[in-house]
């Protein structure tokens, strides 16, 4: 089936967002966001794949070998870096939320306070 | 909004989104039939043009290096943001720089400590190898930088938090992060000065497969490796400080 990887990406995204919406813990919520973002890795790597091709590393293969798209793989690296930084910032905010409000359950964080 | 209402709203929206995406999938190239021109052109000409055998690194540190500069500063800014969010607030104080006793995890033992510390050297070498061979084989500054940071983190996992702070003091981490970030920008300026174009690969390319080849690509990797190692260690010490050093008054 030639669209299966894309459907897997949609499936992973859906479960990640489901986790975010139903989360009872801000740390768990950040992990769910990482799951949702993992779907973009699947999509990127899936789009660049070429049947029968190998990794775009020409250290030990002849230069005529068919390889998968190196551009989307480079984009996946950017994606991972952004994911790591977003997680770090959100976790820092979760730490401060716990200190300030004594809870990390989003349902208990109702009113905005200055 | 009550929980069931929110869940209902979410399920409706998510069903619509999933359906839209599933329809959109029909217009994507079939899996295994990538049609894009850029990847094909780079795959055919990249090695001959830039003399780096890892094309992913060539894309990141040559063709798309301007984006990588932005990506690097995303990391830089985010670490700055974490340090800012986790700064000392009113009613908090840090315990003295040297806590009276080492932090030990429940169940930690001297065997864990010994094995952990024995791993530090090999992991450091692995990290340095990944950083310096990024233009030849899979790896590069981002990946190797994280491995380098992990080597220092092992000191902490071995239960020697104070020792880790001594090996990697805050000022040194800040210096590594800042100088690494500046290093890549300087590579770009070098292109502007010596070849007239920002980020032009202005150093002799050497022969493909050699450790000193691909011009500015390994230099960029080195700068990013130093920055990423400093940035991740800063992140980890900021978080572990919250648990181990900062006390509310």
Interface predicted TM-score (ipTM) of this complex, two decimals: 0.84
- Dihedral angle of Cα A7, A10, A12, A17, to the nearest 10 degrees: -160
> What's the pTM value of the predicted model, to 2 decimals?
0.84
The span from the CA of B99 to the CA of A69, in Å, is: 52
CA Rg value for chain A: 19
pLDDT tier at A113 (50, 70, 90 boundaries)?
low
What pLDDT is stored for residue B100 in this prediction? 46
Residues 6+ apart with CB under 8 A from A9: A39, A40, A42, A43, A46
For range B58-84, the mean pLDDT: 90
Between CA B199 and CA B64 the distance in angstroms is: 10
Q: A6-35, pLDDT tens digit by residue?
A: 889 989 998 999 899 888 899 999 999 999
Q: Shortest CB distance from A88 goes to which of B17, B142, B235?
A: B235
Query: In the predicted model, what is the mean pLDDT of residues B127-137?
Result: 90
Q: Is the model more confident about B160 or about B189? A: B189
- The predicted-structure confidence for A52-72, as pLDDT tens digits, reads as follows 888 888 878 887 888 888 888
Indicate if the pLDDT at residue B96 is higher than 60.
Answer: no
Burial letters A14-46, b for 16+ CB under 10 A, else e: bebbbbbbebeebebbbbbbebbbbbbbbbbbb
The pLDDT-based confidence of A114 (bands split at 50, 70, 90) is low
Q: Among B78, B81, B207, which would you mutate to test the A interface (most chain A Cβ atoms within 10 Å of its Cβ)?
A: B78
DSSP line for B36-70: -HHHHHHHHHHHHHH--SBHHHHIIIIITHHHHHH
Give the tens place of pLDDT for each residue, B4-52: 888 889 889 988 988 898 888 888 878 888 777 888 888 888 787 788 8
Q: Report the 10 Å Cβ neighbour count for A76.
A: 18
Averaged pLDDT, B70-93: 85
- Residue of chain A nearest B243, judged by CA positions: A95
Question: What pLDDT does B140 receive?
Answer: 86
Looking at residue B188, its pLDDT comes to 85
By Cβ distance, the residue of A47, A57, A92 closest to B53 is A57
- Span B200-210, pLDDT tens digits: 888 877 777 77
CA-based Rg of chain B, rounded to a whole angstrom?
23
pLDDT in the model for residue B124: 93
B43 vs chain A: nearest CA distance in angstroms? 7
Q: How far is B40 from chain A (nearest CA, A)?
A: 7
Average pLDDT estimate for A39-57: 87
Confirm or reject contact between A81 and chain B (CB < 8 A). Answer: yes
| Chain A residues lying within 8 Å of B78, measured CB to CB | 85-86, 88-89
Does B39 sit within 8 Å of A58, measured CB to CB? Answer: no
B177 vs B174: CA distance, rounded Å: 5
Convert the pLDDT of each residue in A86-109 to its tens digit: 999 999 999 888 888 888 888 777
CB contact under 8 A, B56 and A10: no
């Amino acid at each position: 089936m030639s669209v299966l990887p894309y459907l897997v990406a949609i499936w992973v995204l859906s479960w990640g967002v489901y986790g975010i919406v139903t989360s009872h813990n801000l740390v768990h919520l950040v992990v769910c966001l990482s799951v949702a973002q993992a779907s973009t890795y699947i999509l990127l790597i899936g789009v660049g794949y070429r049947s029968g091709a190998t990794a775009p590393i020409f250290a030990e293969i002849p230069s005529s070998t068919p390889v998968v798209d190196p551009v989307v793989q480079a984009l996946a690296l950017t994606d991972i870096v952004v994911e790591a930084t977003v997680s770090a910032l959100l976790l820092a905010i979760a730490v401060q939320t716990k200190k300030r409000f004594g809870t990390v359950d989003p349902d208990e964080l109702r009113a905005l306070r200055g | 909004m009550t929980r069931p209402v929110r869940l209902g709203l979410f399920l409706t929206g998510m069903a619509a989104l999933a359906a839209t995406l599933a329809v959109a999938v029909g217009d994507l190239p079939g899996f295994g039939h990538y049609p894009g021109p850029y990847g094909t052109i780079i795959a055919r000409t990249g090695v001959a043009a830039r003399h780096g055998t890892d094309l992913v690194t060539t894309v990141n540190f040559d063709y798309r290096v301007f984006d990588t500069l932005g990506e690097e500063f995303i990391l830089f800014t985010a670490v700055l943001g974490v340090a800012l969010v986790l700064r000392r607030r009113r009613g908090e104080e840090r315990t003295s720089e040297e806590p009276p006793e080492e932090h030990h995890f429940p169940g930690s033992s001297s065997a864990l400590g010994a094995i952990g510390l024995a791993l530090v050297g090999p992991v450091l070498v692995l990290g340095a190898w990944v950083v310096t061979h990024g233009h030849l084989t899979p790896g590069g500054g981002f990946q190797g930088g994280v491995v380098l940071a992990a080597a220092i983190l092992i000191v902490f996992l071995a239960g020697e938090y104070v020792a880790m702070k001594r090996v990697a003091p805050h000022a040194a981490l800040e210096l590594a992060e800042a100088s690494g970030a500046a290093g890549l920008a300087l590579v770009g300026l070098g292109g502007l000065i010596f070849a007239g174009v920002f980020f032009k690969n202005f150093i002799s390319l050497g022969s493909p497969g050699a450790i000193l080849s691909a011009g500015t690509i390994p230099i960029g990797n080195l700068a990013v490796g130093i920055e990423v190692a400093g940035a991740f260690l800063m992140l980890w010490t900021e978080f572990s400080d919250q648990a181990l050093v900062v006390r509310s008054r």
